[in-house]
Chains A and B, each alone.
Chain A
Amino acid sequence: MKPLWSSAALAVLCLAPWARAAEPPKPEAKSFEVPYRLTAFKHIVVRAKINGKGPFNFILDTGAPALFIAPEAAKKAGVEPDAKGWGVCDRLEIEGGVVLPKAKGRIEKPFQLEGINGLGLAGVELHGMIGYNVLARYRMEIDFTKNKMVWTPLDWEPKSPVGLGESVRGATGGLEVMGTIMKYLGALAGAKTEPDYTLRGFLGVELFDKEDAEYPEVKSVLAGGPAAKAGLKAGDEVTHFQGRSVQNADDVRRFALKLKADDPVKLTVRRGKETMEIHFKTGEGL
């Protein structure tokens, strides 16, 4: 029983409902590096601004026939749906510099997104999908060993996707129920669509690893930064960070990953023959 439900839960993520004919938008001519993030659900998520509002988060989805925009996002961007549920974005800008004037999209939220947002699985709130009517205008290079895609506008007019009518369009066979189930389970489990974020605190220390050295060395301290004020000096060797022994700069960075602003820091350093402890509080900055 269990695996069957899970298959269904995953299956809701495949293939957005297709839609009736849409006019494809117009391209520009130049290559773009488009940043994306890969979610836990293995969705490629890109950010886009619509009419200068946003950014909104979209799944890059060759399984969707068109651009889908959640009604809330469309409203924020001032995109009004027509009687058939289509709206026109005067300006759709995808992060990385891709700009599409007059991009046509479905103003609706596919049930898949309800479930993912409800369970907080993407780590960001998803506002829609970018499908065929936009994607077909680009040559897209997708490579998960890189953190950006490369999009090159193609000089052609893709045909509008053909809708297959209500009877086929509605044929999710009950899959849409999974979206709702996932949403409510998420709510019951106290899942948040987006986590609360806090920013790493600032020390103002540049470190480097000398060849054959036992410990990382302070290359410089930024004047006016927290570490400089506490008396840390270039040339000091850091032996411990918060009492944990470190062997290189990466250790320090790793141990400091969860340090917030105004958190206490204890550095144990060797200066010449002396060993000393330096205490200070992290500041703001990066």
Chain B
Amino acid sequence: MKRLLFALALACLTTPVRAETPKTEAAPKPVVVPFELLPTGHVAVMVKVNGEGPYRLILDTGAPITLIDNRVAEAAGLLKDVPEPLFSLFGSRGEVKVAELQVGEQSVKNVTAIVMDHPTVQALSQALEKKLGGPIDGIVGFPFFARFKMTLDYRARTATLTANGFKPPDVMKDMMAAMMEAASDEPKVLAPAAQWGMVAEKAADDSDAGVTIKDVLAGSPAAVAQLKAGDRLLTLDGRWTDSLVDLYTAAGYVKPGETVAVVVKRDGKELTLKVKPASGL
């Protein structure tokens, strides 16, 4: 029964996915893209789709996908090979491949987008169209901006995009994997990436910030950094360590040989120590 329902859950979210072939820009020059700050606080950028446009889209760090409405999709020739659906939710035509998506002067080739008339975008567009002198036609999301180091500056109203070689993973595939994991009964093991040489503890009824160092092994990186049993460890490499799960998660980011700061509270005072964990376990 459980399996059946899970399959159903997957079916509702699945779409046939084509492999994404990202192209990294050869010269990683920063490109400054000016944006409009809408009265609602949204960031609007001018976007060319397959050379057509520019159209006004919202740059949204909270969007896992890029959305383009039917009007623009039609104009940019994105719907040529897409069959007309019998029934369509929010005018959705599913996933399409955009040969070139150009945001300001920065562009990406072969990027996926979903064609859909998002009701919130439409409502926003209708409300602001007169003031802006044109409509809002979609959302620029993760598959585009993830390929860049993106510096957002609301005061200057610019998004500076520098290609960083990052290949955005497929959101659908990762979502499936996450759903599988969420429904699995097996606990997730948190592994530190390097060896510190210390033991930490936290009592169940202890809700104060940090964890307590129970033991520091002689000669270990923790000992070399002068960590001591009884220290209250507050942060490790800038990450809060309010639980053992936090501590192991933070230690999962620090590679062997990397020197990072840890902040401990000892005798009521906060100390910052530098630790260089070893290659080991």
Residues on A facing B (Cβ under 8 Å): 1-11, 13-18, 33, 35, 39-44, 47, 49, 52, 55, 59-66, 95-97, 119-123, 129, 131-133, 135-145, 147-148, 154, 156, 158-159, 161-164, 168, 171-175, 181-182, 185-186, 188-193, 195-200, 202-208, 219-220, 222-225, 249, 252-253, 256-260, 283-286
- Residues of chain A within 8 A of B181, CB atoms compared: 120, 123, 195
Stretch at the interface among B47-55, B70-78, B246-254: B246-254
- The CA-CA distance from A135 to B80 in the complex, in Å, is 39
- The CA-CA distance from A171 to B192 in the complex, in Å, is 46
Contacting pair A121 B178 (CB below 8 A): yes
Can you give 7 A-B contacts (C-beta < 8 A)? A41-B175, A120-B183, A171-B123, A172-B119, A188-B5, A188-B9, A256-B281
Contacting pair B183 A190 (CB below 8 A): yes
- The CA-CA distance from A286 to B92 in the complex, in Å, is 50
Contacting pair B141 A14 (CB below 8 A): yes
* B174 on interface, CB distance cutoff 8 Å: yes
Contacting pair A168 B127 (CB below 8 A): yes
Question: Taking the nearest CB of chain A, how far is it from the CB of B9, in angstroms?
Answer: 4
> B1-32: contact bitstring with A at CB < 8 Å (1 yes, 0 no)?
01001101101111110000000000000000
- The CA-CA distance from A228 to B191 in the complex, in Å, is 21
Given contacts A158-B155, A172-B120, A175-B119, 13 further A-B contacts (CB under 8 A): A3-B95, A5-B12, A6-B14, A15-B139, A18-B40, A120-B183, A143-B150, A168-B126, A188-B6, A189-B183, A198-B189, A202-B281, A224-B217
- The CA-CA distance from A78 to B24 in the complex, in Å, is 47
> B166-202: contact bitstring with A at CB < 8 Å (1 yes, 0 no)?
1011011011011101111001111111011111100
* B225 on interface, CB distance cutoff 8 Å: no
Stretch at the interface among B61-69, B98-106, B266-274: B61-69
Interface size bucket, B side? 35 or more
Contacting pair B190 A199 (CB below 8 A): yes
Contact residue among A13, A61, A140, A204 (Cβ-Cβ distance under 8 Å from B152): A140
- Residues of chain B within 8 A of A168, CB atoms compared: 123-124, 126-127
Known: A197-B188, A198-B187. A173 touches B9 (CB 8 A): no
Question: Taking the nearest CB of chain B, how far is it from the CB of A64, in angstroms?
Answer: 6
- The CA-CA distance from A196 to B165 in the complex, in Å, is 34
- The CA-CA distance from A145 to B43 in the complex, in Å, is 24
- Residues of chain A within 8 A of B88, CB atoms compared: 4
- The CA-CA distance from A219 to B220 in the complex, in Å, is 12
Contact residue among B13, B153, B218, B242 (Cβ-Cβ distance under 8 Å from A5): B13
Contact residue among A39, A120, A145, A223 (Cβ-Cβ distance under 8 Å from B219): A223
> B198-222: contact bitstring with A at CB < 8 Å (1 yes, 0 no)?
1110000000010000010111100
Contacting pair A286 B196 (CB below 8 A): yes
Contacting pair B197 A181 (CB below 8 A): no
- Residues of chain B within 8 A of A182, CB atoms compared: 13
* B133 on interface, CB distance cutoff 8 Å: no
Contacting pair B14 A8 (CB below 8 A): no
Q: Which 7 A-B residue pairings sit nearest by Cβ, starting from the closest? A: A173-B119, A120-B182, A132-B41, A61-B62, A40-B178, A171-B123, A161-B41
* B94 on interface, CB distance cutoff 8 Å: yes
- The CA-CA distance from A11 to B60 in the complex, in Å, is 12
When C-beta atoms are compared, the residue in chain A nearest to B182 turns out to be A120
Question: Taking the nearest CB of chain A, how far is it from the CB of B60, in angstroms?
Answer: 4
Question: Which residues 121-138 of B sit at the A interface, judged by CB distance below 8 A?
Answer: 121-124, 126-127
- The CA-CA distance from A283 to B217 in the complex, in Å, is 12
When C-beta atoms are compared, the residue in chain B nearest to A204 turns out to be B217
- The CA-CA distance from A285 to B41 in the complex, in Å, is 46
- Residues of chain A within 8 A of B118, CB atoms compared: 11, 14-15, 175
- Residues of chain A within 8 A of B165, CB atoms compared: 145
- Residues of chain A within 8 A of B192, CB atoms compared: 200, 286
Contacting pair A203 B14 (CB below 8 A): no
- Residues of chain B within 8 A of A145, CB atoms compared: 149, 164-166
Question: Taking the nearest CB of chain B, how far is it from the CB of A166, in angstroms?
Answer: 11
Contacting pair A1 B87 (CB below 8 A): yes
Contacting pair B42 A43 (CB below 8 A): no
- The CA-CA distance from A181 to B13 in the complex, in Å, is 11
* B58 on interface, CB distance cutoff 8 Å: yes
When C-beta atoms are compared, the residue in chain B nearest to A284 turns out to be B199
Contacting pair A7 B40 (CB below 8 A): no
- Residues of chain B within 8 A of A222, CB atoms compared: 197, 217-220
Contact residue among A2, A35, A95, A206 (Cβ-Cβ distance under 8 Å from B15): A2
Contact residue among A8, A43, A49, A198 (Cβ-Cβ distance under 8 Å from B190): A198
